Amino acid sequence: MRLVEERRLGPVVGLGTYGTFRQDIVLARRLADAALAAGTTVFDSSPMYDSEQALGAGLADRRGTARVASKIWTSSLEEGRRQYKAQRRYFGRVEIEQVHNLVAWREHLGGWIEEERDAGRIDRIGVTHWSSGSFGELEAALETGRFDTVQIPLNPLEREAERRILPLAAERGVAVIVMRPLGGSEGVRLRRAPPAGELDPLHELGVETWTQALLKWALSDSRVDLVIPATSRPERVVENAGAGSPPWFPPEARALVERLATA
C-alpha cells in the first residue's frame, strides 16, 4: 500500500552528506542551521557516509521541519534491520528509505522495508545507483512499481540518466533525486566557473553563481525533483539553496549551461 499519493518531492534543493562532516556534530549542526534557515529541508545520508549520527544530533530539536532520506547498504537482511534500528535512534524516523546501490534490493524490500512503510514508519521507499553501468538493473527495479524515489547522477557531463532513467521515472510517477549535481568530489573541472560575463543571461533567472547554474540546470528538467549537493561550508549551503526556486530555465538557458560546462 502506498502512503504517499503526491509523488513529487520538489523541485527543491536538499543537502548531501557524503564526505563532509562525518562524525563532527558541531559542523553538522552549523550546516543544518544554514540549510534550514535557507529553506533546505531534505537531508540525504547513508550508513556508508558515517554521517547519520552527527546529522541526527545536528538536526535535533528541528527534526520536525526536516525530511531525512537515508539508505540501507548491506547484503545481509539482519544487518539491514540493524542499520534501520540505528537510524530510528538517530532520526526518530526516516522519511525516505533508499536501498543503496541496489544492494540486495529485492530481499530488503520484501523482507522488511515495505512492512515498515505500510506500518507508517517510512513515507517513501527509494533505490539508488551511482553508475550508469547498473542502470539496467535500476530499470528492472523501477519496473516493479514498488519504488517511490530513484537517486541517480546527473550533471551536464553525466547525462546517461536522461536517456534511461528519467523517462521511466516520469512514466511510473517515481520522484527523481539527483546525486553528484556538481560532478562529485572529483568534479573540479565542472565546478570551475566560466569567465566573468558568461553568466549574465542567467541573472534574470535568479542565478548569480556557476554552482547555482548547475543546480538549476538539473532542477529545470521537469522530471527532476530534488538535487542534493554536498558541502562542508555553511555559506555554500546558502548559495546552493538559492537555485531552488523559479523561474526555471527555458531550453536556451539549459543549452548555455551545457555549452559552458563542456567548453
Task: Kindly tell me which of 42 and 250 has the beta carbon lying closer to ligand NAP.
Answer: 42
CB-wise, 112 or 130, nearer to ligand NAP?
130
Q: Which residues in this chain contact ligand NAP in the complex, by CB under 6 A?
A: 16-18, 20, 44, 100-101, 128, 130, 151, 179-185, 187, 191, 211, 228-233, 236, 239-240
Shortest Å, Cβ 120 to ligand NAP: 25
| Residue (34 or 252) nearer to ligand NAP, CB | 34
**Minimal CB distance residue for ligand NAP:** 16
Which one, 25 or 209, has the nearer CB to ligand NAP?
A: 209
Give the DSSP letter string of 4-51: -S-----SEE-EE-TTSSTT-HHHHHHHHHHHHHTT--EEE--GGGT-
CB of 217 to ligand NAP, least distance (A): 12
Which CB atom, from 20 or from 40, has the smaller least distance to ligand NAP?
Answer: 20
Inter-CA distances, 44 with 48, 60, 133, Å: 12, 16, 23
Give the burial string for 209-222 (b: 16+ CB within 10 Å, else e): bbbbbbbbbbbbbe
Tell the smallest beta-carbon distance from residue 232 to ligand NAP (Å): 4
Do the Cβ atoms of 54 and 23 come closer than 8 Å?
yes
- How near is the Cβ of 37 to ligand NAP at its closest, in Å? 16
